Amino acid sequence: MHWNSVGDFFAMGGYALYVWGSFGACLVLMVVEPLLARKRLTEVRDTLARERLADELDHQSGTS
Protein backbone atom coordinates (compact mmCIF):
# COMPACT_ATOMS: atom_id res chain seq x y z
CA MET A 1 0.00 0.00 0.00
CA HIS A 2 1.68 3.18 -1.11
CA TRP A 3 -0.97 5.77 -0.27
CA ASN A 4 -0.28 7.67 2.95
CA SER A 5 -3.75 9.15 3.37
CA VAL A 6 -7.17 9.29 1.73
CA GLY A 7 -6.36 12.76 0.44
CA ASP A 8 -3.15 11.44 -1.06
CA PHE A 9 -5.16 8.73 -2.84
CA PHE A 10 -7.61 11.19 -4.32
CA ALA A 11 -4.84 13.56 -5.36
CA MET A 12 -3.26 10.81 -7.49
CA GLY A 13 0.11 12.44 -7.40
CA GLY A 14 -1.21 15.55 -9.10
CA TYR A 15 -3.03 13.65 -11.86
CA ALA A 16 -6.43 13.68 -10.12
CA LEU A 17 -8.33 15.33 -13.01
CA TYR A 18 -7.03 12.89 -15.58
CA VAL A 19 -7.21 9.67 -13.60
CA TRP A 20 -10.62 10.37 -12.06
CA GLY A 21 -11.84 11.90 -15.30
CA SER A 22 -11.11 8.61 -17.04
CA PHE A 23 -12.32 6.21 -14.37
CA GLY A 24 -15.32 8.44 -13.64
CA ALA A 25 -16.41 8.54 -17.27
CA CYS A 26 -16.15 4.75 -17.47
CA LEU A 27 -18.15 4.35 -14.29
CA VAL A 28 -20.88 6.78 -15.32
CA LEU A 29 -21.32 5.36 -18.83
CA MET A 30 -21.16 1.79 -17.61
CA VAL A 31 -23.94 2.52 -15.14
CA VAL A 32 -26.08 4.47 -17.60
CA GLU A 33 -25.86 1.96 -20.47
CA PRO A 34 -27.27 -1.04 -18.56
CA LEU A 35 -30.00 1.19 -17.15
CA LEU A 36 -30.98 2.25 -20.66
CA ALA A 37 -30.97 -1.36 -21.86
CA ARG A 38 -33.04 -2.32 -18.84
CA LYS A 39 -35.48 0.53 -19.50
CA ARG A 40 -35.92 -0.61 -23.08
CA LEU A 41 -36.76 -4.11 -21.88
CA THR A 42 -39.27 -2.96 -19.27
CA GLU A 43 -40.90 -0.60 -21.76
CA VAL A 44 -41.51 -3.42 -24.24
CA ARG A 45 -42.85 -5.60 -21.47
CA ASP A 46 -45.20 -2.82 -20.28
CA THR A 47 -46.50 -2.21 -23.78
CA LEU A 48 -47.12 -5.91 -24.29
CA ALA A 49 -48.85 -6.21 -20.92
CA ARG A 50 -51.09 -3.25 -21.73
CA GLU A 51 -51.94 -4.72 -25.12
CA ARG A 52 -52.91 -7.99 -23.49
CA LEU A 53 -55.05 -6.19 -20.93
CA ALA A 54 -56.84 -4.34 -23.71
CA ASP A 55 -57.47 -7.63 -25.50
CA GLU A 56 -58.90 -9.14 -22.34
CA LEU A 57 -61.19 -6.15 -21.82
CA ASP A 58 -62.40 -6.53 -25.41
CA HIS A 59 -63.04 -10.17 -24.70
CA GLN A 60 -65.02 -9.51 -21.51
CA SER A 61 -67.27 -6.91 -23.09
CA GLY A 62 -67.67 -9.17 -26.10
CA THR A 63 -66.68 -6.57 -28.66
CA SER A 64 -63.80 -8.62 -29.97
CA–CA distance from 35 to each of 38, 39, 42 (Å)? 5, 6, 10
Q: Is the dihedral angle over the CA atoms 44, 45, 49, 50 positive or is it negative?
A: negative
Tell which one of 45, 54, 56, 64 touches another protein (CB under 8 A): 45
Q: How many residues bind another protein (CB under 8 A)?
A: 32
> Using the 8-state DSSP alphabet, how is residue 62 labeled?
T
Residue 6 as a binder of another protein (CB under 8 A): the answer is no
The residue from 41, 53, 54, 57 that contacts another protein (CB under 8 A) is: 41
Mark residue 13 as left, alpha or beta (left: phi above 0; alpha: psi -120 to 50; beta: remaining).
left
Chain contacts with another protein (rule: CB under 8 A): 1-3, 9, 12-15, 17-19, 21-23, 25-26, 29-30, 33-34, 37-38, 40-41, 43-45, 47-49, 51-52
